[in-house]
Amino acid sequence: MRRVVVTGLGAVTPVGNDVESMWTALKNGESGIDYITKFDTDDLKVKIAGEVKNFDPTLYIEKKELRKTELFTQYAVAAATQAVKDSGIENNIEPERLGVYVGAGIGGIGTFVENTLGMDKGGARKVSPFFIPMMIGNIAAGTIAIRFNAKGVCLPVVTACATGTHSIGEAFHAIKHGYADAIITGGAEAAVTPLAVAGFSNMKALSSNDDPKTACRPFDKNRDGFIMGEGAGIMVLEEYEHAKARGAKIYAEICGYGNSCDAHHITAPDPTAEGPARAVRAAFEEAGVCDEDTIYINAHGTSTGPNDRSETKAFKLVLGEKANDISVSSTKSMTGHMLGAAGGVEGVIATLALYNGIIPPTINYNEPDEECDLDYTPNKAKERDINVSVSTSLGFGGHNACIVFRKA
């Protein structure tokens, strides 16, 4: 089987609109969560989120195209442009061997709401002719493919909050098994809207803490729900010999992927943690993870009671006593939960942690939970010479995903 490496990274997040600024903020434990500014929150119970700030789409998309490009697609194109530039892959690959695997958990919800309200007030004539192509969840992948003339495999994944990680994992396998030589992959989301905030809030999934700087506290005993975020995380995966032949910079080798389903409940994780454990175990087995490896896990870590307990249990089921030796953190404590973009951004973060030998922290971790008793890298980043980094994601519907990177 062919080896697969990471040669390009891109990100648009609540803590920075490029990889360098995002990574600097995460290392410093800086939170991008604050009061919502995009719309009036007077009628909403939850008034905070991880919004992308000072984003200029004209750096990546022509101004005349913006009115027909949904925000989640704008984020995706921006992060993909960064990743492709970073990799140097453009014009160095046959178009039919370049693919795009970029998904969104929700897609164009802002466009959907805007056009629904328009039709309700003014009839069908108020519905934009761009409504459908802006709204559909595959349009980010299609737009990226058009931008970079990627005529190969193209698969937009939709698995809720596991979307980004599944996208990267499926892209890895597609290259490993010979269906492409390089794939632009990750996730994007722009769902910080009144409807989405109300929906998640009314199902009791969001934190009721109204202090933006302390509301998201993964693995802490007093956690009470997640904070919505938005953005995009994209990486370029490439077949190793192809990358080596053109002298590409290699951040890491991706060498394991696991995919499973709880088949338990539409939103709640299975308390036995057997589902995520199967995904982690499969990824570890494919990657050949062993007792001698020094491991960092960028956990899904949503700051909800059931998720954080289930993930902790899953890591213990797979690693046994070695679970006490690994480093874990949830960078959602700083970015919020970016839904379909989360796995894409966290895959980028896991790669950077491995490349730089720095574990980003879980901030707002103040009171340990007896059921969450691993090393969650509380409040401050730390240097550690790791040779394996992992990113895990869990999505509504019971979807579980895990990807494993090794030092190149």
| Tens-level pLDDT at each residue, the chain (408 residues) | 899 999 999 999 999 999 999 999 999 999 999 999 999 999 999 999 999 999 999 999 999 999 999 999 999 999 999 999 999 999 999 999 999 999 999 999 999 999 999 999 999 999 999 999 999 999 999 999 999 999 999 999 999 999 999 999 999 999 999 999 999 999 999 999 999 999 999 999 999 999 999 999 999 999 999 999 999 999 999 999 999 999 999 999 999 999 999 999 999 999 999 999 999 999 999 999 999 999 999 999 999 999 999 999 999 999 999 999 999 999 999 999 999 999 999 999 999 999 999 999 999 999 999 999 999 999 999 999 999 999 999 999 999 999 999 999
What does the pLDDT read at residue 325? 97
221 token code pair = 């005993």
What does the pLDDT read at residue 84? 98
What does the pLDDT read at residue 326? 98
Q: Where in the chain is the domain with CATH 3.40.47.10?
A: 4-245, 256-406
CATH superfamily entry for domain 4-245: Thiolase/Chalcone synthase (3.40.47.10)
Could you tell me where the DSSP H helices lie in 88-193? 109-122, 131-135, 139-148, 163-176
Ramachandran quadrant class, 369 (left: phi over 0; alpha: psi -120 to 50; beta: rest): beta
Write the pLDDT tens digit of every residue in 318-334: 999 999 999 999 999 99
| Residue whose token pair is 């951040």 | 251
Hey, which residues are catalytic here? 161, 300, 337
- CATH for 256-406? 3.40.47.10
H or E stretch at 220: none
| Residue whose token pair is 């059931």 | 306
For helices 139-148 and 71-87, the axis angle rounded to 10 degrees is: 40
Q: What are the angstrom distances between the C-alpha of 381 and each of 21, 28, 353, 357, 359?
A: 16, 7, 10, 10, 5
What does the pLDDT read at residue 69? 97
What does the pLDDT read at residue 205? 97
What does the pLDDT read at residue 195? 97
The verdict on pTM exceeding 0.85 is yes
322 class by beta-carbon count within 10 Å (0-12 exposed, 13-18 middle, 19+ buried): middle
What does the pLDDT read at residue 1? 82
